Amino acid sequence: MTKIVRPYVIAITGASAQPVAERAIQLLLDNNQNVALILSKGAYEVWNSEMSLQVPVDMTLQEKFWRSRLKVKTGQLKCFKWNNHAASIASGSYKTKGMIIIPCTMGTVGRLASGYSLDLIERTADVHLKENRPLIIAPRETPFNLIHLKNMTTLSTAGVTIFPLIPAWYTKPNSINDIIDFLVIRLFDLLGEDLGNINRWGEK
């Protein structure tokens, strides 16, 4: 039997940090990882409004789109449509290395906190929680209102790691790319993956 390389599920929702999401996909594939990718319906709109890009909704075309845009031939990439409830990753019996929602909207935070599993992102996150697998969300909103904070507390209590997209300045970033790499590489530190080099405190 062929050994399946377990994927990281990367979910991109419609918050304002799409370049961070695409760098996460790129670094995972560069590091020969398997990525199962879901964009929420809202994420397609944000790609269009903020990045002036139409991400293909056809999944085969989308896989080609990311490979060409990110200039990466290694790793495995499978894209899933937001309403594909029959997807492998929607079942607890399909094993993964964990799930990262990056960026994570306050809408998705609210739906996860209330157990509302309508789209594939919500269902897969719910599955990760019930299977006690790593689930990390990278919220992007400012300021937070009380409902956001309460929802994030609920998720944290349920075992979700909250990784807000807040940069560090002690790294003395020279560019936005330095800031993005710091965020993505620090996030994957939490999963035991070493995706690249960043300026770490105490290291030269």
Ligand X SMILES: Cc1cc2nc3c(=O)[nH]c(=O)nc-3n(C[C@H](O)[C@H](O)[C@H](O)COP(=O)(O)O)c2cc1C
* 13 binds ligand X per the rule CB under 6 A: yes
Please answer whether residues 8 and 35 qualify as being in contact, where contact means their C-beta atoms are separated by less than 8 angstroms.
yes
Single out the residue of 45, 54, 149, 159 in contact with ligand X (rule: CB under 6 A).
Answer: 45
Site string for ligand X, 119-148 (x = CB under 6 A): ---------------------xx-------
Least gap, CB of 164 to ligand X (angstroms): 11
Single out the residue of 56, 92, 107, 173 in contact with ligand X (rule: CB under 6 A).
Answer: 107
Single out the residue of 18, 26, 40, 151 in contact with ligand X (rule: CB under 6 A).
Answer: 40
Least gap, CB of 69 to ligand X (angstroms): 19
**Residue 3 one-letter amino acid:** K
- Closer residue to ligand X, CB minimum distance, 46 or 77: 46
Q: Which stretch binds ligand X (CB under 6 A): 7-15, 53-61, 86-94, 158-166?
A: 7-15
181: left (phi over 0), alpha (psi -120 to 50) or beta: alpha
Closest residue to ligand X, judged by C-beta, is 14
Cα separation, 84 vs 94, whole angstroms? 15
Phi and psi, residue 174, nearest 5°: -95, -15
* 14 binds ligand X per the rule CB under 6 A: yes
Cα separation, 189 vs 19, whole angstroms? 19
Three-class DSSP category at 199: coil
Single out the residue of 42, 92, 134, 173 in contact with ligand X (rule: CB under 6 A).
Answer: 42
CA atoms within 13 A on the CB side of 142: 6
Single out the residue of 99, 102, 106, 179 in contact with ligand X (rule: CB under 6 A).
Answer: 106
Please name every residue paired with 135 in a beta bridge, in sequence order, or none if there are none. Answer: 99
Residue that is written with structure tokens 């990367």 in the block: 10
Least gap, CB of 192 to ligand X (angstroms): 28
State how far the alpha carbon of 82 is from the alpha carbons of 18, 85, 197, in Å.
Answer: 17, 8, 33
Q: Which residues contact ligand X (rule: CB under 6 A)?
A: 13-16, 40, 42-43, 45-46, 49-50, 105-108, 140-141
